[in-house]
Amino acid sequence: MFARLEIAPQDEAVPDPSPDHFIEIDLGGVTVRLPGDCAAGRIADVVLALSAGR
């Protein structure tokens, strides 16, 4: 399973999605936004992958 990834330069304005529809994970200067209906196991997988990349 893959999640959509969007990368934008720091100075580029990124639309601020409604917090009701996204889960945002900030870790080590990386922000990942997942759909609000994302399964808990998938969220845990993303957090583990980000932590492993430290």
Give tens-digit pLDDT for 7-54.
Answer: 766 665 655 555 568 888 888 788 888 888 888 999 899 888 888 875
Name all contacts of 43-52 with Cβ < 8 Å and 24+ positions apart.
46/3, 50/25, 51/27
- Tokens 């990942």 appear where? 32
State residue 51's pLDDT score.
83
How far is it, in rounded angstroms, from Cα 22 to Cα 24?
6
Predicted TM-score of the model (pTM) = 0.55
How remote is the C-alpha of 30 from its chain's centroid?
A: 8
